[in-house]
């Protein structure tokens, strides 16, 4: 198949899209032990939350309490028995890492504020419709499930969809391109009609005022 027959006209493999490293190997089940381990750990965490009715804050606090207690008692007993202390790495956040993280967060916040300003002043009607639909979708999903269950579902999807797509990508690309074309035509016609009706409503509101 040519590049035009691939989704988004891509010319690289799924493994390369996912970074080509350990993360890609885990997501595509090329490192089966790690993938199964992650799934089992996620399943165990989900079961703990669902059965014990733990909240995320309570669970994290309990885990850290147990960890610090074990390390503290280990260090004290090692000092008394003249044995080696716990083999902990030197935990320190570098100034460069902190600056890069702060710059990234600042750029994302500024982008969100810029979009919010455009919507608030009525400069971008299309973005208003998109943001409104996205927030509505988040609201609906949030009313159907909780954060822990949603996170587990997302993890399962991330570990199942990429390998399935990699195995059947030729067949999936054909049907996906066909449906994307139809959805794009529907979106363009719906978007134009929605924006036109919105502008008419604004003009009518101005006349009334």
| Residue at 58 is within a domain | no
| Residue at 207 is within a domain | yes
CA distance 36 to 19: 20
| Same domain for 132 and 152 | yes
Q: Residue 2's pLDDT is what?
A: 43
Listed in sequence order, the residues at least 6 apart from 152 whose beta carbon sits closer than 8 Å to its beta carbon are 42, 43, 45, 46
Residues lower than pLDDT 50 in the chain: 1-3
Q: Residue 3's pLDDT is what?
A: 44
How many folded domains does the chain comprise? Answer: 2
| Residue at 196 is within a domain | yes
Whose tokens are 């080696």? That residue is 84
Q: Residue 5's pLDDT is what?
A: 63
| Residue at 5 is within a domain | no
Q: Residue 37's pLDDT is what?
A: 92
Residue 198, domain extent: 169-209
Reported as a single tens digit per residue, the pLDDT across 26-60 is 888 988 899 999 999 988 888 888 777 777 788 88
Contact 25, 31 (CB under 8 A): yes
């Amino acid at each position: 198949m040519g590049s035009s027959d691939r989704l988004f006209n891509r010319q690289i493999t799924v493994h390369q899209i996912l970074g080509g490293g350990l993360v890609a190997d885990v997501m595509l089940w090329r490192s089966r032990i790690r993938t199964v381990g992650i799934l089992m750990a996620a399943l165990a965490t989900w079961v703990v939350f669902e059965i014990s009715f733990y909240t995320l804050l309570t669970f994290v606090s309990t885990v850290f309490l147990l960890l610090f207690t074990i390390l503290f008692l280990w260090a004290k007993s090692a000092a008394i028995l003249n044995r080696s202390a716990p083999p902990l790495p030197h935990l320190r956040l570098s100034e460069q890492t902190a600056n890069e993280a702060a710059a990234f967060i600042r750029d994302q916040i500024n982008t969100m504020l810029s979009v919010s300003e455009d919507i608030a002043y009525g400069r971008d009607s299309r973005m208003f419709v998109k943001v409104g639909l996205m927030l509505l979708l988040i609201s609906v999903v949030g009313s159907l499930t909780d954060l822990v269950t949603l996170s587990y579902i997302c993890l399962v999807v991330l570990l199942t969809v990429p390998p399935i797509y990699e195995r059947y990508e030729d067949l999936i690309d054909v049907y996906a391109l066909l449906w994307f074309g139809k959805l794009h035509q529907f979106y363009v016609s719906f978007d134009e009609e929605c924006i036109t009706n919105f502008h008419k409503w604004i003009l009518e509101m101005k006349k009334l005022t």
